[in-house]
Copies of this chain bind each other. A is one copy, B any other.
Amino acid sequence: MTEPTLSRPGRPRDPERMRRVIDAASRQFLEQGFERTSMDAVARESGVSKMTIYSYFPTKAALFEAVIGQRTDTVFDLDAGETLEPRAPAATLSVIGRRFLALMRADEVMGRHRVLFAAAGIQHEACAAFFRQGPEKLIGGVRDYLDQAVAAGALRPHDTRVAADQFLSLFLGGAHIRAMLGLGKPSPEEDARLVQANVELFMRAYGAT
């Protein structure tokens, strides 16, 4: 908690500029990847001088890490909107599935996955941060819900951690790979059927009825 205004001599920094840089860099990194994005292009799109960017971030990799750390926390809040009803797991899992699928179909999210997979050996810290704040947190959230449903007697999985992973992974099959390869996304109807099929599989296996 340092002073918000340190009141140093000279002109203060403009936080708006920083935001514009991150926004432009985010768009370009996630759309074109790390190597194909140039600092000049980021400067041009953000309307900020390249020198200013380098005054914030010492190197291109640093800007990249800032982009990855950005917004990863706001990705997904399971409890947003509808409340998760422990006694109606089929309906609740449908909601979770629909929202997870909408998330995974977003261009920004697919871009993030692509660029981080490509950076696997090189940007270890960014990959680790993403995994913690993304997939791991999501699985944990679903697991928490499953625990409630088990406590309510509505589900009987062997292991809620494993079951949460299984449920979410069901949405990462052929259609997702196809989309990740840039070969087109499924229609909303196909996605709706996917949600239904996956919830049904899950409930058949782990339902208490």
Contacts and interface: CB of A to CB of B under 8 A. Distances in A.
Interface of A: 31-33, 35-36, 113-118, 120-121, 124, 127-128, 130-131, 135-136, 139, 158-159, 162-163, 165-166, 168-178, 180-183, 197-198, 200-202, 204-206
Nearest to A174: B165
Q: Which of A35, A113, A120, A181 has the most CB of B within 10 A?
A: A181
A79 to B, nearest CB: 21
Contact of A113 (B117, B168, B183, B197): B117
A121 to B, nearest CB: 5
A177 B131 CA distance: 8
B162 A168 contact: no
